[in-house]
Structure 1
Amino acid sequence: MRRACVFKFEKEAPTNIYGTTSGLKPQQIKRLEQIGRRKIKSDQVVTSDIARLMTALSFEIGRQIGILAGREGEIYTVLVGNEREIEIPDLTGLRFGKRGLRGVRLVHTHLKNEPLNEDDLTDLALLRLDLIAAVGVVQEGLPGTVYLAHLLPPNPDEKIYEIHPPVSIHQLNLPLRSFLSALEAEFDSGERTRAVDGRKEKAILISVSNQPRIDQEASMDELAELARSARLVPIDRIHQRPKSFHPKFLLGEGKLKEVVMKALQQRADLLIFDQNLTPLQVKAIGEVTEMKVLDRTQLILDIFAQRAQTREAKVQVELAQLRYRLPRLAERSTALSRLTGGIGGRGPGETRLEVDRRRARDRIARLERELESLAEARARRRVRRVAHSIPILSIVGYTNAGKSTLLNALTKSDVQTEDLLFATLDTSTRRLRFPREREVIITDTVGFIQSLPPDLLGAFRSTLDELRDAHLLIHLIDISNPHFEQHMQTVQKILTELGLENTPQLLVFNKKDRIHPKTVATLCERYGGAIAISALQPESLGPLLAAIEKRLWEEGKTAPALPAASPTYKGVTPPS
């Protein structure tokens, strides 16, 4: 059995018949229609009379026949397949049950009186049917053995479905109404338990890529950290390295079926793709899986929306979200609606899509004006700082490298820190005082990440423009991360895109306390005398402060040379 919403299928049949009726006699089509007009008692899976009609006709035409029946016993559709399988129409809009079940059951024939097969059980899970039943066809078209299966609510064994012992059609006495009521109560109880426990949403991470395996794994590690930053729980990872990408689902249809089965087994709430998806792909995958589908860009935008605190950060994030969603409005159904007819509005009017686009563009324009106003205020503050001839020091680096922790350690501030990607979005500015009445302005900027959404980079460009005024950039690197070299390259690439490749930089390796000292010394030597620190150990910051003072006042010629004596910095005493 296969789903028609996954596999294209040509419908050539009367209203309540789904399937190919070519080759059937008019009298046989009439018998199919008669089956569709029957009704099953609400407490029965199927009546022996309807089963007999189905098996007799199935035997006669040599094809499988099925019915989709509702809770009250009404037959919605009669299905006609071939000798091996039947097609099921798209049931996306058909859900009369509660969250756990769809409210529709499938009863179909098996020409060789065989049990339910893997395709049957997969469709049971994918479509969340009330139950699935196969009625075997025996000699002379009589109904033989009945095979039943139904879904299971969350259980310790993580079983998806239960297969009943086979019975004959005359022994089929399952009290359907009370059985489904109890089953849905268990599903509902599981959902209430989740809500009471306050458990986080569970996500399956998916990567479909042709890049080297080590890079694919590194990107998936980062995606897992992004999910954790979004307060999600990554429960599984699925990799695929196809020769070509599926235009509709990105990953292959077989792999997509595997994804859905794993999601059902582990009770996942959403799917997160490491690659960016087209609007059509998001829609198609969502329709097949009936789950929330996110790509990498959407996940990052969601994290930024959660973390934005100041008005400026909120404006920047909303602007990035609108720019991302605007081209995707075309995938929404317009239903040919026209809104501005009537007096004063004669003519073709405006479609729903055009109205949504216009509203989005208007909102973008308003946010851009507000962002410009906030940028002007920031520019005035920058002018005042420049007027006072105070050197400006900016901390840049990959997200979660420890920039805010370093700012707190240097200035005794209390900027929020957390071991999460993009824990802070707002630019923080503090003063750092050196001996001989020297001081600098030190700023902590938003962290960088590979594949940073262009819309997000564009929205935060006004904030990142503050880096242009910096006399020195501290490029902070988490040396304990196994992919730190790739992170360094990502930061350098973004700095180049911002036109800051010629701004002086000081390379600083953070979290040296997590690495063997000999390894730290080797890496510092390899990267041209980089400085190693631990932002959590103030006593390790002395060499960094000495290097900053040397670069700003000796090499920069912005102040007299350092005195010969070893200086004492505010809150930090460098080693002798």
Structure 2
Amino acid sequence: MKEERVLIVGVETEENYRTFHSSLTEMRQLVQAAHGEVVAVMEQKRPVVNRQTIVGKGKLAEIALAVDAEEIDIVIFNHELTPRQHQTLSDRLQVLVIDRVQLILDIFALRARSKEGKLQVELAQLNYLLPRLVGQGAAMSRLGAGIGTRGPGETKLETDRRHIRNRMTKVKRELKELAAHRERTREKRRQSQLIQVGLIGYTNAGKSTLLNRLTDAQTFEKDQLFATLDPLTKKWRLPEGLMLTLTDTVGFMQDLPTQLIDAFHSTLEESRAMDILLHVVDASASDRQIQEKTVLALMKELGLDHIPVLTVYNKADKLEEENFIPTVFPNILISAYDKESIALVSKGIKQLIMEKFDPYVLSLPDQEAYRLANLERQTLVVAKEYDEEHGQYEVKGFVAPENRTDVSYSDMES
């Protein structure tokens, strides 16, 4: 398939100058992920973007010349365009114009595999499209032709809006049903009393790779943006015997469209149900701290900032400097492809559980020894000895606060 020729436009302002260059680098990667070829990048510095055309009059003329000279198929603005800006730019440049939001939505549409994922992306696209059904020329002023699709004098634009709203209602209904199913699945996991660990982080930080190394998930992994859209949960056993569930989720990004956050609400709910979060960070990224701040801000926005977090600095093998300085704590530095690093993840999780969960000491008489297997599976057992004099097991460990009552059937103390 022939790649479409793309011209990227970005405006550096007083508001975005700190993240401007990293954002443009991401735009190149996004275009590549959407199977496009970046032919040219146009930059301009302004105090604020132009309210009508984003760039100034002279720069817009320069872009128009480049569109003709370079045979550009698509001009992509590294900003979210208002419906009016979108229409004005399309009229002036006479070529397909889209913005960063539409590009990300397009990539999500390419990546979605599950029914829920496809519906979520469709809802986000419809939310984006609805306010932009304006000024499409004579084609949008014709009367609707289908029986039952129009009222007296209803224009095609109004018919299209009604069709989109009807489709959005249907998609929301289907997503609600799928969300209810997802909640039942989460409830079953809660009832299993297994500690739930969620993988979160910036897109392409290596979450899926880490999931594959810790479990036998064999999920799709690739060095590209938004390789994973659909959450996947697998079981993971620590060396001490503790069984955990590990859930991979969609990656975050700067300026992630609000339409996507709204549409993926039920998927992101997966993270809220977690006992522990593994924040995976690409340690080799040139804009690592910007990525960290983006994820931490989104975690706060999604109500995840109360959950214990272990930061996993990944891709240590790609670091150019030996002296790596972490900025988020607690943390570990690993390479997901290194066996010794995988052991570090288990050790880091164990340490976090010992710091954040409730300690217990439990005496189990011989006749209740069968409970040992469940204790080792559902709690972190750090010591286990048999007291021959009293004919009982002395067990020490740590348990998630919500499961504390399940280990209090004997002389538990803490």
Per the TM superposition, whether the score is higher than 0.5 is yes
Whether contact under 8 Å (2:310, 2:329) holds in the other structure is no
Aligned partner of 1:283 in structure 2 is 87
Aligned partner of 1:512 in structure 2 is 316
Aligned partner of 1:315 in structure 2 is 119
Quick check: which has more Rg, 1 or 2?
1
**Of 189, 193, 210, the match for 1:406:** 210
Whether contact under 8 Å (2:283, 2:316) holds in the other structure is yes
Distance in 2 (CA, whole Å) between partners of 1:529 and 1:385 is 27
Q: Which amino acid aligns with 1:404?
A: S
Question: Which has the bigger relative contact order, CA under 8 A and spacing at least 6?
Answer: 2
SS of equivalent residue, structure 1 residue 320: helix
Equivalent residues in 2 for 1:352-363 (5 A)? 352-363=156-167
Whether contact under 8 Å (1:272, 1:296) holds in the other structure is yes
The CA deviation at 1:237 is 1.2
Q: Which amino acid aligns with 1:562?
A: V
The CA deviation at 1:297 is 0.3
The CA deviation at 1:543 is 1.7
Change (3 A) 1:345 1:199: closer
Aligned partner of 2:379 in structure 1 is 559
Aligned partner of 2:5 in structure 1 is 202
1:440 correspondence with 2:244:
yes
**Of 169, 179, 186, the match for 1:365:** 169
Aligned partner of 1:546 in structure 2 is 347
Change (3 A) 1:514 1:265: same
Say how many residue pairs are matched: 363
SS of equivalent residue, structure 2 residue 19: helix
SS of equivalent residue, structure 1 residue 561: strand
Change (3 A) 1:330 1:236: closer
The CA deviation at 1:220 is 0.5
Whether contact under 8 Å (1:400, 1:422) holds in the other structure is yes
The CA deviation at 1:295 is 0.3
Name the Cα RMSD after superposition: 2.4
- Cα-to-partner distance string for 1:546-571 (whole Å, 9 max, x where unaligned): 1112323664236243259xxxxxxx
- Cα-to-partner distance string for 1:250-297 (whole Å, 9 max, x where unaligned): 212221221122233333221111011122222222223221111000
Change (3 A) 1:554 1:269: same
Aligned partner of 2:71 in structure 1 is 267
Q: Percent identity?
A: 37
Q: TM-score, normalised by structure 1?
A: 0.60
- Cα-to-partner distance string for 1:455-485 (whole Å, 9 max, x where unaligned): 1100001100011110000011111111111
Distance in 2 (CA, whole Å) between partners of 1:517 and 1:271 is 38
Whether contact under 8 Å (2:64, 2:93) holds in the other structure is yes
Equivalent residues in 2 for 1:100-179 (5 A)? none
**Of 303, 309, 314, the match for 2:107:** 303
Change (3 A) 1:412 1:459: same
SS of equivalent residue, structure 2 residue 323: helix
The CA deviation at 1:353 is 2.1
Task: Name which of structure 1's ranges 322-331 and 378-387 shifts more when overlaid on structure 2.
Answer: 322-331
Distance in 1 (CA, whole Å) between partners of 2:103 and 2:144 is 34
Distance in 2 (CA, whole Å) between partners of 1:298 and 1:340 is 30
Q: Which amino acid aligns with 2:10?
A: S
- Cα-to-partner distance string for 1:325-376 (whole Å, 9 max, x where unaligned): 111113334765455999x999843222221111111100100010011111
Distance in 2 (CA, whole Å) between partners of 1:382 and 1:346 is 44
Q: Which amino acid aligns with 1:269?
A: D
Change (3 A) 1:388 1:491: same
- Cα-to-partner distance string for 1:101-121 (whole Å, 9 max, x where unaligned): xxxxxxxxxxxxxxxxxxxxx
Distance in 2 (CA, whole Å) between partners of 1:238 and 1:346 is 44
Distance in 1 (CA, whole Å) between partners of 2:43 and 2:72 is 17
- Cα-to-partner distance string for 1:413-447 (whole Å, 9 max, x where unaligned): 21111111101211111110123432100000000
Whether contact under 8 Å (2:299, 2:305) holds in the other structure is yes
Change (3 A) 1:262 1:339: closer
Change (3 A) 1:336 1:419: closer
Distance in 1 (CA, whole Å) between partners of 2:73 and 2:210 is 37
**Of 190, 201, 208, the match for 1:397:** 201
Q: Which amino acid aligns with 1:458?
A: D
Whether contact under 8 Å (1:397, 1:448) holds in the other structure is yes
Change (3 A) 1:340 1:256: closer
Change (3 A) 1:529 1:373: closer
**Of 254, 259, 271, the match for 1:467:** 271
Change (3 A) 1:384 1:213: closer
- Cα-to-partner distance string for 1:194-226 (whole Å, 9 max, x where unaligned): xxxx43112111102313645211111111111
1:423 correspondence with 2:264:
no
Aligned partner of 2:51 in structure 1 is 247
Distance in 2 (CA, whole Å) between partners of 1:406 and 1:455 is 28
